[in-house]
Amino acid sequence: MRAPRPAAFFDRDGTLIVDADYLSDPDGVTLIPGAPESIRAARDAGWLTVVVTNQSGIGRGLYSESDYRAVDRRFQALLAAEGATLDAVLHCPHHPSFTGVCDCRKPAPGMLLEAARRLGIDLSRSVMVGDKRSDLEAGLAVGAAPILVRTGYGAATEAEGDLPEGTRVIDSVRELPVEPAFGSAPPR
């Protein structure tokens, strides 16, 4: 049996791709500079790479699951063209005002816990990278180190202050510190 590995959990919009509110058109996917390199570096160091993304546009009726899947295919194709692959992509289609409360919408930790169950992730040695407080809180809820990127809503999130204790702030995913996964502690 293989020992659990740490994961780099990534938010998608504003962290790995340019945030285009309620993105439903695959042609609107634009990678943030450094995203493929960051994913490759994490994988090369032995980390699992997982995207966990809130997609309330589905619950709000602004786009469909099939629209979401088309955007995701384009997103993953752009990454693959740069030699970057993901171990999993999970999404939450809910919004509490439209579909009720769920356990998967960040800051709830449901997507991270599901990925850990599926992939055998060591959450205590993992990181959660995102541009919103809800991303950081989801990571903290499972014991992952929170990393805020200043892309997307990240600069505004930082300016609001009162970040969760232990949050590391970086300009973009390009600066993600990745150490070898085996025998390492998460970068804090």
What angle, 0 to 180 degrees and rounded to 10, lies between the N-to-C axes of helices 35-44 and 65-81?
Answer: 70
> Amino acid identity, residue 106?
K
Strands annotated E in the chain: 7-10, 48-54, 88-92, 127-130, 145-149, 168-170
Domain ranges of the chain: 7-175
pTM of the model: 0.93
77 CB neighbour count, 10 Å cutoff = 11
Span 108-145, pLDDT tens digits: 999 999 999 999 999 999 999 999 999 999 999 999 99
Span 54-110, pLDDT tens digits: 999 999 999 999 999 999 999 999 999 999 999 999 999 999 888 889 999 999 999
- CA quadruple 125, 162, 174, 36: dihedral, nearest 10: 70
Please identify, in words, the CATH class of the domain defined by 7-175.
Answer: alpha beta
